[in-house]
Amino acid sequence: MTQRTALVTGGTGGIGTAIVRYLAKQGHKVVTNYRDEEKTEAWRKAMAQDGIEVTTVPGDVCDPGSCQSMIDAIHHKLGPVDILVNNAGITRDTTFHKMTYQQWMDVVNTNLNACFNVTRPVIEDMRTRKWGRIVQISSINGQKGQYGQANYAAAKAGMHGFTISLAQENARFGITVNTVSPGYVATDMVMAVPEEVREKIVAQIPVGRLGKPEEIAHAVAFFTTEEASWITGANLAINGGHYMGW
Ligand code: CAA
């Protein structure tokens, strides 16, 4: 297997950590961004103790200038980014009639605008080198909508629109662009949903449980392989059967 440089944004989070771990175990050079240096350094050390070497660089995915500096720093340390996983994401759940402009903007900036901010500085290099793998981490709620998530569902649906356009523009350059849409996975984000609401959600999952972060990481890693070079513009739903749309 060819060793690649893989950037996973938000790599210290629940699903992000699993993706970092999976790609590193496959032999890739993995890097993630941070805003909180101290917290990230503790996370990096814990990963290293577990045999997973991760490079960390400062970078705020909501800020285009910061993302350009982040990509420059990665280029300097590890070379050009071959694999990009746009994973950083947040929720600010509330019904729309109570939602503030800030709650809307924070979610759209972190989940959707970040795709522009991080992908724009890596795409030209990928096109020049005629190889690239870009994976967006969207959500089941971008497919089916969710009570209390007008901001998040709009941003997550937008990520797939981004995927299918970028896939068309870059197919000739050996770059594939795909989306993974996880359902409810056992991470801090999902555990923050009030317990009684969460129990009702789990009751709607045919497989009968929350997903595991590794189950998402496995699919992301699949999209980054050499063998997946004919898969582009796809959206892979991984949700325990919770939503079975086309
Ligand atoms: N359908 C219909 N009615 C619903 C509903 C639903 N899905 N969910 C709640 N309601 C109803 C309640 O029963 C309640 O009704 P009553 O007033 O008649 O009792 C009413 O809506 C509450 O509405 P409010 O406007 O007062 O809402 P709230 O301020 O109490 O907050 C909420 C509600 C924030 C949306 C809360 O229900 C919640 O957190 N829901 C979970 C949202 C969710 O699934 N988030 C996913 C987070 S994880 C993630 O995002 C990862 C991923 O990609 C999957």
User: How far away, in angstroms, is 115 Cα from ligand 1 center?
Assistant: 27
- Single out the residue of 207, 151, 218 nearest to residue 180, CA to CA: 218
Q: Which residues approach ligand 1 with their CB closer than 6 A?
A: 91, 93-95, 139-141, 146-149, 152, 182-184, 189-190, 193-194, 197
Sign, CA dihedral 235-111-216-167, equals positive
Q: What does the pLDDT look like over 196-226, one tens digit per residue? A: 999 999 999 999 999 999 999 999 999 999 9
Helix (H/G/I), strand (E/B), else coil: 30 = strand
Structure tokens at 21: 């771990």
Decide if 78 contacts 31 (C-beta within 8 A). Answer: yes
Rg of the chain taking only CA atoms, in angstroms: 17
So what's the architecture of 5-234 in CATH? 3-Layer(aba) Sandwich (3.40)
User: What pLDDT shows up at residue 1?
Assistant: 83
- Single out the residue of 4, 10, 21 nearest to residue 212, CA to CA: 21
User: What pLDDT shows up at residue 246?
Assistant: 73
Structure tokens at 179: 């989306």
CA dihedral 95, 93, 111, 3 (to 10 degrees): -150
Instruction: Report the mean per-residue pLDDT for the chain.
Output: 97
Please give the distance of CA 123 from its chain centroid, rounded to a whole number: 17
With left for phi above 0 and alpha for psi between -120 and 50, is residue 56 left, alpha or beta? beta
Atom number in ligand 1 closest to CA 97: 25
pTM beyond cutoff 0.85? yes
Q: What does the pLDDT look like over 143-192, one tens digit per residue? A: 999 999 999 999 999 999 999 999 999 999 999 999 999 999 999 999 99
Atom number in ligand 1 closest to CA 91: 50
Which helix H or strand E contains 54, and what residues bound it?
Answer: strand 54-58
Residue with tokens 């939503």: 243
Alpha helices in 26-113 (DSSP H): 37-49, 64-78, 101-108
User: How far away, in angstroms, is 148 Cα from ligand 1 center?
Assistant: 5
Mutate to test the pocket of ligand 1, among 149, 197, 199, 204 (most ligand atoms within 8 A of CB): 197
Q: How far apart are CA 138 and CA 67, in angstroms?
A: 20
